[in-house]
Structure 1
């Protein structure tokens, strides 16, 4: 049996990232499309339009539910026992979209850190100096 991970982000922690919160509440279809692209490499514009069309008949939670399931599978996330994915996407869709965006962001940031295999220290690289910068330094000395 595979172990499941806890979510890094809570459903109602929108104030942790006000930009994402604002984006999710002002344009939920766009955030859904952006999330779907990152989760399952679907076309952002197509998913945005799907969400927008289905929201007109109160069914936007259906594709959201399936994308949330894929996100949980991708990161092996636990389902919230008190409020599963279906009620979350049906009743708290903007908050769920924001939570998913923050979760994706936090997990991508963790993956970007490269560690040195010998002592598990982060490898920090500085940009190389251009020849103009090197000449400028040499002139000062």
Structure 2
């Protein structure tokens, strides 16, 4: 699933949901409000295609958030990666503002975007890759085909 697999115009594709559509997915909204590091960790693992772990990135996010309150800078980097990967509309100023003043809404929007593109966020990168592999395998037919 890469941006090269889907054509898009120079401005990019629109997001599947708006920044303030947080309550269209109540479960992820609640998780994000109470523990944004979980949402961020899940997003980052998918965006990094499994090269980083949900737990490690979530822990880094939590540490930065609790010590400096500047986790928005870290999470904004992943928003940029997500937008580049899927050819979403670019506006770096808007991204920084969204993560600075509406961090939870921005995380929820990114989470919804990945879900709308077919990712099961609770499975992580490996779980999604394994599911895609299973779906791609054709069933084996034993013997000759008969009526």
2:12–2:90 contact (8 Å) kept in structure 1: no
- Supply the RMSD in Å over aligned alpha carbons: 2.0
Residue equivalent to 1:66: 77
Q: Which runs of 5+ in 2 are unaligned?
A: 1-8, 120-147
1:88 matches 2:72: no
Instruction: Specify the SS of the correspondent of 1:84.
Output: helix
Cα deviation for residue 58 of structure 1 reads 1.2
Report the TM-score when normalising by structure 2: 0.68
Q: Which residue of 1 is the match for residue 18 of structure 2? A: 10
Output the CA distance in 1 between the equivalents of 2:90 and 2:11: 12
Q: Does 1:78 align with 2:115?
A: no
Report the Cα offset of residue 3 of structure 1: 5.0
- Where in structure 1 are there 5+ consecutive unaligned residues? 110-141
1:27 has 2:35 as partner: yes
Larger Rg: 1
Question: In the TM superposition, what whole-angstrom CA distance separates every residue of 1:76-116 from its partner, at most 9, and x where no partner exists?
Answer: 101359x610011111111111110000000126xxxxxxx
Q: 1:51 deviation in Å?
A: 0.6
Using the alignment, how far apart are the partners of 1:10 and 1:102 within structure 2?
Answer: 10
- Runs (4 or more) in structure 1 with deviation over 6 Å come to none
Which of residues 49, 53, 57 is equivalent to 1:47?
57
Find the aligned partners of 1:80 and 1:11 in 2 and give their Cα distance.
Answer: 13
For 2:32 and 2:40, the matched residues in 1 are separated by 8
Whether the aligned pair in 1 keeps the contact of 2:11 and 2:90 (CA below 8 Å) is no
- For 1:50, what is the secondary structure of its paired residue? helix
